[in-house]
Structure formats: structure tokens, C-alpha cells
Structure 1
């Protein structure tokens, strides 16, 4: 949702999600799995404006990420939620 608000990204939610190389879950096909109740709740929270990242635009899992760009990106604020690091 933060990317949708940013002028750096496409103008529709579908375009943001499907942007090439933006999300590994899209690249890997996980996006087509059947969502569970927790997924629906998280999506509803996001649509309703809940943002535990404080406006971050980027995220990665430091244990599985292969992109040097993400690992080397300097960010003023980093927020860790579960296995992911979020950055502005």
C-alpha cells in the first residue's frame, strides 16, 4: 500500500504487485496459492490503513535474499518484523 501511494511506483495495486522483480512471491508463483484466514486479515488491515512499517517501501528476508542491492541499501530507518527487514 505504501508503494501505491508513492510516485516512484505504478498507479494501481495490480501494477505494483505485478511489477517485474518487485516481489519474490510473484516471481515464484506463491501469489497463486489459496490464501488462509491470516492472509485475508493482513490484506484487510493493509487496505484499512494499518501499517506496522511506518511507510517503508522495500523489504527483504536477510536469510534468503540474494539481491545485493537490498542488502547494501542504506536506509535511515529499518524495521524488523518477523524474518523481514523493512526500509524506506
Structure 2
């Protein structure tokens, strides 16, 4: 569910007008996704990741339209805590 949710956030950003309008540009925006910054982005996707991406692309959005997410246990950016949480999935809070 968490992977689908992250994919949905990316797609929500593409459609929002507040972010670039291409998936690659949203993902590669500086300091937006820690998985890009820490190198996880370069890992070979497994079958679970492909299935989650497909579900997000098909419109499954467990975030209900959210544009942001963070883990409150490790988040350091003040903006994170100033947004209303819409849904919690695993350790992550999804916000608009």
C-alpha cells in the first residue's frame, strides 16, 4: 500500500500545476524524495514495485489526492508538521 501511495503522490503532483508536468521531472526535483537523494532510486525494481506502480498509474490513490508525505519519526523539515494529515500509511503521513 505504501508503494502505491508514493506513486500516487508523484502522479498527483504531475496533475497539480504546482509541480512539473512529467513524472521524471517530479521525481528528480531536488530535495523532494529522499529515496532519490540516498541512492535507493537506482535499485532494480522488483515485482512488487512494478505492481504498485501499475496500480498507481491505473488510478489507485490511497492518499486521497495528497501531494506530500513524511515520516514524523525522522522528518526534520518544519513544513511537514504544518500540514494536515489526510491519511497515515505505515510510518508515513500523507498531506495536501
TM over 0.5: yes
Name the CA distance, whole Å, in 2 between partners of 1:30 and 1:58: 19
CA positional deviation for 1:12? 0.6
Cα deviations by residue, 1:51-71 (Å, 9 ceiling, x for unpaired): 000000000011121212212
What's the TM-score, normalizing by structure 2? 0.84
Q: CA deviation at 1:4?
A: 0.6
Is 1:70 equivalent to 2:85 in the alignment? no
Post-superposition, which runs of at least 4 consecutive aligned residues in structure 1 deviate over 2 A? none
Name the residue aligned to 2:89: 81
Does the aligned pair in 1 maintain the 2:88–2:94 contact within 8 Å?
yes
Judging by fraction of residues, say which structure has more helix. Answer: 2
The offset of 1:74, in angstroms, is: 2.8
The gaps in structure 2 that reach 5 residues or longer are 1-10
- Equivalence map 1:11-50=2 (5 Å): 11-50=21-60
What is the root-mean-square deviation of aligned Cα atoms in Å? Answer: 1.1
In structure 1, how many angstroms separate the alpha carbons of the residues matched to 2:62 and 2:83?
A: 20
Q: 3-state SS of the aligned residue for 2:65?
A: coil
Q: Tell me, which stretches of 5 or more residues in structure 1 are unaligned?
A: none
The aligned length equals 86
